[in-house]
Amino acid sequence: MATYLEFIQQNEERDGVRFSWNVWPSSRLEATRMVVPLACLLTPLKERPDLPPVQYEPVLCSRPTCKAILNPLCQVDYRAKLWACNFCFQRNQFPPAYTGISEVNQPAELMPQFSTIEYMIQRGARSPLIFLYVVDTCLEEDDLQALKESLQMSLSLLPPDALVGLITFGRMVQVHELSCEGISKSYVFRGTKDLTAKQIQDMLGLTKSAMPMQQARPAQPQEQPFVSSRFLQPVHKIDMNLTDLLGELQRDPWPVTQGKRPLRSTGVALSIAVGLLEGTFPNTGARIMLFTGGPPTQGPGMVVGDELKTPIRSWHDIEKDNARFMKKATKHYEMLANRTATNGHCIDIYACALDQTGLLEMKCCPNLTGGHMVMGDSFNTSLFKQTFQRIFSKDFNGDFRMAFGATLEVKTSRELKIAGAIGPCVSLNVKGPCVSENELGVGGTSQWKICGLDPTSTLGIYFEVVNQHNAPIPQGGRGAIQFVTQYQHSSTQKRIRVTTIARNWADAQSQLRHIEAAFDQEAAAVLMARLGVFRAESEEGPDVLRWLDRQLIRLCQKFGQYNKEDPTSFRLSDSFSLYPQFMFHLRRSPFLQVFNNSPDESSYYRHHFARQDLTQSLIMIQPILYSYSFHGPPEPVLLDSSSILADRILLMDTFFQIVIYLGETIAQWRKAGYQDMPEYENFKHLLQAPLDDAQEILQARFPMPRYINTEHGGSQARFLLSKVNPSQTHNNLYAWGQETGAPILTDDVSLQVFMDHLKKLAVSSAS
């Protein structure tokens, strides 16, 4: 097993790929019986400091329907200067530049360690990155002030040649012209009227100047950057202007009467932002960054009316079909998201408010375009400030981590077909021979567009084994998959990253052991979770849970070792041992449970779940709990109520929250001030240790988690209590002995009960 674990880890580090199965069942039938589909988590831009991009272009298979890229798995005839495509077996001539190759003089893409390689494309016009700020002005004064400062600060983080634009909105929407001297100028739009892209461009005067030019000189469509320059300007040119402009930004001046929400035209503002970029910079890397402090209250995309007495929709309302604006608003934002994706731009949403802001309706904007979604209580919190700052973080090369306008193309060898992808992407609707008819996630295509991505963006990609049972694959045959990601690097270069992987086929009948041993339960859990969350977006919650349960039971039936009808005999091998526990926590997670979460929160959690890499995803599913005590170094402990002890300090990381929890005794000691006494310096260190660790996590995490420092009996302890396995509750308090843990007041089932039940069902022949 160790070997497999190493193999998996190595693969992940090199290729950014984790498969649910690392040995593939060789027939469709067997594959279906495996329950967990053959799938992988792909992190297309996984940071590879050791992988400098090569400065030439990839060599493609000459078969028009294939166009696979030359890779280490291809057979090469050095003498004839031919190579055989390992996907379609087409024999291809090397291009003239490769005349010098030989066994000892191989190009990088033929070396096995370059199963992942990045090409840098030199040709084609480079267009600068574009950042369009869309700022809500219906904020409280200090919130707005904080936001303004963040925005001003961000100017210094942008690449100097990047273009920036500013749209502000409240009751009206203002598109600010940045090029003017002396007087700040903006175009204003009514917040209640939806406009087509054409209208927007007309009204911004973008088409007018372009049209005559085209007529005059049809051959030179180069004017575009010039035309749009009024609204999008290079940072280095106008950062002073823009800083002033932001400084003078006023709160929305329209009076808000008692009992009303401010009128907020988020829908139109976004629509204008999209229209503006659509008309001026289609297919160029661009970020629309929406900062909003409340729900859209008017115009298309409105989520709630402006009467405060009508609260914003809750899950309850949605279930009762009582959310009157939801469908329409969702449709509006979906339309925008699709348009944006088509143009290769991405939309970020930074929503900071105590109440909901309509993320449920707007979620598709970041979800489909690869944008960020950040939710906070106020712009005046470090959560927002640091998260925002982190958007502009740089990698080891000093390049921005963000990348734009990526197209991910997947090619498979003929035994496999592509069922779909789940992640921050949209389908490009490219049908091909390797596209399956069964869809999992966004399917029906072999290419997806990921408008905005960073080194951690991860997609779940699902495959279907199509090899028929009666056409066995010859011994030693391997299945291959090639991921080709073309994207615009933050340095504005166009790059292509190619990852080619291969796995062995195994006959499930005879070699089930191999397959079983090659199961990656972590990847499988995340992939299944993604499927579940994907379904949850469109299906009723209970249905999804039932489906998950059924899958789990089937998996246990398939791979468990047991005697029929004897739950106690049930065993799972090591490679599956954690899987049920993941599923247990997944069922309780906010991704599938909406109880106690607002629709916005659910959307927020799901958004991040669908794009984080495996490690982070696992943390989301099953938070990590560390225990600090005088008894030894910090140690990870079970996410269980039994871990909550009086003389411990707990540090829980749920990805979205970092909770530090002081046990009862510790809390009392601290209250008594022992930490300030020189003789109890060790206590002071103990108190400090989790804080330091938490800081470490906070530094690395995006988005910045909510940082909670609480203690036994504190109100915020609920964050911890709601996550741990309720092994001790008011119901079984005495059954479990008294020496440890804290009882959780809940009726939820505990992991033990869940497992008991699972075993029972797994061994039952009835299911």
Partner 1 sequence: MNVNQSAPPVPPFGQNQPIYPGYHQSSYGGQPGPAVAATPYGAYNGPVPGYQQIPPQGVPRAPPSSGVPPASTMQAPCGQTAYGQFGQGDIQNGPSSTAQMQRLQGSQQFGSPLAPVVSQPAVLQPYGPPPTSTQVTAQLAGMQISGAVSQAPPSSGLGYGPPTSLASASGSFPNSGPYGSYPQSQAPPLSQAQGHPGVQPPLRSAPPLASSFTSPASGGPRMPSMTGPLPPGQGFGSLPVSQPNHVSSTPAHALPPGTQMTGPPGPPPPMHSPQQPGYQLQQNGSFGPARGPQPNYESPYPGTPTFGSQPGPPQPLPPKRLDPDAIPSPIQVIEDDRNNRGSEPFVTGVRGQVPPLVTTNFLVKDQGNASPRYIRCTSYNIPCTADMAKQAQVPLAAVIKPLARLPPEEASPYVVDHGESGPLRCNRCKAYMCPLMTFIEGGRRFQCSFCSCINDVPPQYFQHLDHTGKRVDAYDRPELSLGSYEFLATVDYCKNNKFPSPPAFIFMIDVSYNAIRTGLVRLLCEELKSLLDYLPREGGAEESAIRVGFVTYNKVLHFYNVKSSLAQPQMMVVSDVADMFVPLLDGFLVNVKESRAVITSLLDKIPEMFADTRETETVFAPVIQAGMEALKAAECAGKLFLFHTSLPIAEAPGKLKNRDDRKLLNTDKEKTLFQPQTGAYQTLAKECVAQGCCVDLFLFPNQYVDVATLSVVPQLTGGSVYKYACFQVENDQERFLSDLRRDVQKVVGFDAVMRVRTSTGIRAVDFFGAFYMSNTTDVELAGLDEDKTVTVEFKHDDRLNEESGALLQCALLYTSCAGQRRLRIHNLALNCCTQLADLYRNCETDTLINYMAKFAYRGVVNSPVKTVRDTLITQCAQILACYRKNCASPSSAGQLILPECMKLLPVYLNCVLKSDVLQPGAEVTTDDRAYVRQLVSSMDVAETNVFFYPRLLPLTKSPIDSTSEPPAVRASEERLSSGDIYLLENGLNLFVWVGASVQQGVVQSLFNVSSFSQITSGLSVLPVLDNPLSKKVRGLIDSLRAQRMRYMKLIVVKQEDKLEMLFKHFLVEDKSLSGGASYVDFLCHMHKEIRQLLS
Q: Which residues bind partner 1 (CB under 8 A)?
A: 172, 174, 177, 180, 182-190, 193, 195, 202-205, 244, 248, 250, 253-255
Q: Is 514 helix (H, G, I), strand (E, B) or coil?
A: helix
Query: How far lies 507's CA from each of 29, 106, 436, 484, 515, in Å?
Result: 11, 35, 22, 29, 9
Amino acid 262 reads P
Structure tokens at 61: 């298979």
Whole-number minimum distance, CB 290 to partner 1, in Å?
A: 20
Whole-number minimum distance, CB 195 to partner 1, in Å?
A: 8
Whole-number minimum distance, CB 247 to partner 1, in Å?
A: 9
Judged by beta carbon, residue 297 or residue 490, the one nearer partner 1 is 297
Judged by beta carbon, residue 195 or residue 620, the one nearer partner 1 is 195
Give Cβ neighbours of residue 290 (< 8 Å, ≥ 6 apart).
134, 136, 266, 269, 270, 273, 347, 348, 349, 350, 362, 365
Judged by beta carbon, residue 1 or residue 180, the one nearer partner 1 is 180
Judged by beta carbon, residue 206 or residue 402, the one nearer partner 1 is 206
Whole-number minimum distance, CB 347 to partner 1, in Å?
A: 23
Amino acid 578 reads L
Whole-number minimum distance, CB 253 to partner 1, in Å?
A: 3
Query: How far lies 89's CA from each of 329, 473, 491, in Å?
Result: 49, 16, 36
Judged by beta carbon, residue 180 or residue 677, the one nearer partner 1 is 180
Whole-number minimum distance, CB 131 to partner 1, in Å?
A: 22
Give Cβ neighbours of residue 688 (< 8 Å, ≥ 6 apart).
none
What is the number of alpha carbons within 13 Å of residue 174 lying toward its C-beta?
21
Whole-number minimum distance, CB 185 to partner 1, in Å?
A: 4
Question: Cβ(367)–Cβ(605) under 8 Å?
Answer: no
Judged by beta carbon, residue 183 or residue 216, the one nearer partner 1 is 183
CA of residue 470 relative to chain centroid, distance: 40
Q: What H or E segment, with its residue span, contains residue 148?
A: helix 141-157
Judged by beta carbon, residue 244 or residue 539, the one nearer partner 1 is 244
Q: Find the Cα–Cα–Cα–Cα dihedral 121, 127, 128, 131, rounded to 10°.
A: -120
CA of residue 281 relative to chain centroid, distance: 25
Burial 592-626 (b: 16+ CB within 10 A, else e): bbbeebbbbbbbbbbbbbbbbbbebbbbbbbbebb
Whole-number minimum distance, CB 378 to partner 1, in Å?
A: 24
d(CA 605, CA 589): 9
Judged by beta carbon, residue 258 or residue 561, the one nearer partner 1 is 258
Whole-number minimum distance, CB 189 to partner 1, in Å?
A: 6
Residue whose C-alpha is closest to residue 127's, from 344, 347, 283: 283
End-to-end Cα, the chain, rounded Å: 31
Strand partners, 554: none
Q: Is 82 helix (H, G, I), strand (E, B) or coil?
A: strand
Whole-number minimum distance, CB 37 to partner 1, in Å?
A: 51
Judged by beta carbon, residue 30 or residue 252, the one nearer partner 1 is 252
d(CA 312, CA 628): 42
Judged by beta carbon, residue 172 or residue 649, the one nearer partner 1 is 172
d(CA 5, CA 17): 13
Judged by beta carbon, residue 168 or residue 750, the one nearer partner 1 is 168
Burial 237-250 (b: 16+ CB within 10 A, else e): bbbebbbebbeebe
Whole-number minimum distance, CB 201 to partner 1, in Å?
A: 10
Whole-number minimum distance, CB 170 to partner 1, in Å?
A: 10
Residue whose C-alpha is closest to residue 479's, from 7, 15, 22: 22
Judged by beta carbon, residue 81 or residue 190, the one nearer partner 1 is 190
Whole-number minimum distance, CB 298 to partner 1, in Å?
A: 12
Whole-number minimum distance, CB 380 to partner 1, in Å?
A: 22
Whole-number minimum distance, CB 486 to partner 1, in Å?
A: 37
Question: Cβ(603)–Cβ(450) under 8 Å?
Answer: no
Query: How far lies 731's CA from each of 534, 642, 664, 749, in Å?
Result: 35, 15, 22, 11
Whole-number minimum distance, CB 260 to partner 1, in Å?
A: 15
Judged by beta carbon, residue 205 or residue 541, the one nearer partner 1 is 205
Judged by beta carbon, residue 176 or residue 332, the one nearer partner 1 is 176
Judged by beta carbon, residue 202 or residue 395, the one nearer partner 1 is 202
Judged by beta carbon, residue 129 or residue 272, the one nearer partner 1 is 272
Q: Is 498 helix (H, G, I), strand (E, B) or coil?
A: strand
d(CA 84, CA 101): 15
Backbone angles phi, psi at 598, to 5 degrees: -80, 160
Judged by beta carbon, residue 268 or residue 365, the one nearer partner 1 is 268
State the SS3 of 120-136. EECCCCCCCCEEEEEEE
d(CA 680, CA 47): 44
Whole-number minimum distance, CB 171 to partner 1, in Å?
A: 9
Question: Cβ(495)–Cβ(132) under 8 Å?
Answer: no
